Chain A
């Protein structure tokens, strides 16, 4: 069985496990909803124009939901030491990295897809535009790429729930800044050409950190 097939086997395994319990989805969904509600009340008191706050609220929610998912995803592997089961298999360690990364990307994207209609209603904005969806995808890919590696690091520590955000957030700041800028620009009706340099930046970030994470993953596990 080739590389890709094994990667997909791992992804399918994660999907199957999640379908069984729906633990991750329910906790991420509820958490994201709570965040939106809190933000709604926190900012509404000061800001008239919802569109100004929306990009920030969107990406803060996505960032926190992502840490939930990343932690959870690797915690599943720690139960019964299943991660060792993967190491015992006659395959490159990078299969594990790509398998988990793809799984993370899919799960986070699904939650984002569920959140967007809710955001749209609450902020009275149309968030379901192709350019916006592309931006969200690129941003999420960056978070998943480096987040998978960092969650593998954090899971070794005594305080893994706290450790992952501490490690992750400074590193994904460029993603958040770019994504918020582009999201704001799209909502303001700017042409995509004006925002192209941010999108190129995101793509560069995604590629570089995919490579760095994939190359260093071996040393983490």
Chain B
């Protein structure tokens, strides 16, 4: 469960986030879409405890981000653009390493189970460097899942994947959705955004400009909403300047 109130983040004089209010219920899958520079990565990195907010409150599973970040780290799995796996270690060794620093019990079993889950059982003794981008992404997800986090944060996970890899990733993400696991994913691809989520939001220029339940939303609806809230805003402003 994630609760965000009035979150703002500035880098020097630029504001990446300008007051975000958002709630993600436990077990919910929320996708955030937005153009480049909207602040999606910044938002996720703050939730992952990698960045400190300039203003605002964040609670994850009821814990305050500012004061209980160490405990929060136990509960989050973060998948970013970079795979965060060591290129010269094997898939298995990578998972074992992360398992150890996360204090995962019964490690060998868990490593085997995860490798199976992400479909890398056959490549477990291969160095991560030799894996394709799609496979590295799946290994990265296994890494993020090693400690059974209750919150998964995925920052544009489909980036750089071909058709086949994208489909495999979608299936994998489908399988990790459980009742107790909260998932927050960002992407700028509207089609991908609709596939798995329960709810959807649009982030533009550091603010949430649109939120809706996914239930009856079609791709055309979404594209229209996106155009209205994001692109028109930009052209309107350009017209003024």
CB–CB A90/B73 < 8 A: yes
A window 1-55: CB within 8 A of B: 1, 5-6, 9-10, 13, 16-17, 20-21
Residues of B within 8 A of A124 (CB): none
Give the contact stretch, choosing among B86-94, B198-206, B217-225.
B86-94
Count of residues in A whose CB is under 8 Å from the partner chain: 23
Q: Indicate which residue in B73, B85, B89 contacts A89 across the interface (CB closer than 8 Å).
A: B73
Partner of B143, one of A6, A85, A86: A85
A1–B128 Cα gap in the complex (Å)? Answer: 26
Cβ A1 vs Cβ B127 within 8 A: no
Size category of the B interface is 20 to 34
Q: Is B86 touching A80 in the complex (CB atoms < 8 A)?
A: yes
Q: Answer whether residue A121 sits at the interface, using C-beta atoms and an 8 A cutoff.
A: no
A80 to chain B, nearest CB (A): 5
Q: Kindly list chain B residues whose C-beta atoms are within 8 Å of the C-beta of A87.
A: 49-50
Report the tally of A-B residue pairs with Cβ distances under 8 A: 70
Q: List 20 A-B contacts (CB under 8 A).
A: A1-B100, A1-B103, A6-B101, A13-B86, A17-B88, A21-B88, A76-B86, A79-B86, A79-B87, A80-B84, A80-B85, A80-B128, A82-B85, A85-B84, A86-B101, A90-B71, A90-B73, A90-B74, A90-B102, A91-B70
From A5, A21, A76, A82, B84 is in contact (CB under 8 Å) with A82
The docked-state distance in angstroms from the alpha carbon of A2 to that of B133 is 34
Asked whether any CB of chain B lies closer than 8 Å to the CB of A218, the reply is no
Choose the segment among B75-83, B116-124, B176-184, B187-195 that binds chain A (4+ C-beta atoms closer than 8 Å): B75-83
**Residues of A contacting B80 with CB < 8 Å?**
81, 84
A9 to B96: give the CA distance in the assembly, Å: 10
| A81 contacts B84, C-beta separation under 8 Å | yes
The answer, yes or no, to whether A88 is at the interface (CB within 8 Å) is: yes
Determine if B208 is an interface residue (Cβ-Cβ < 8 Å): no
Residues of A within 8 A of B49 (CB): 87-88
Which residues of A have CB within 8 Å of B210?
Answer: none
B53-77 toward A: CB 8 Å interface, digit per residue (1/0)? 0000000000000000011011010
Write out the residue numbers on chain B whose beta carbons fall within 8 Å of the beta carbon of A20. 88-89, 127
Report the bound CA distance from A90 to B50 in whole Å: 12
B50: A residues at CB distance < 8 A: 84, 87-88
Least distance between A24 CB and chain B CB atoms (Å): 11
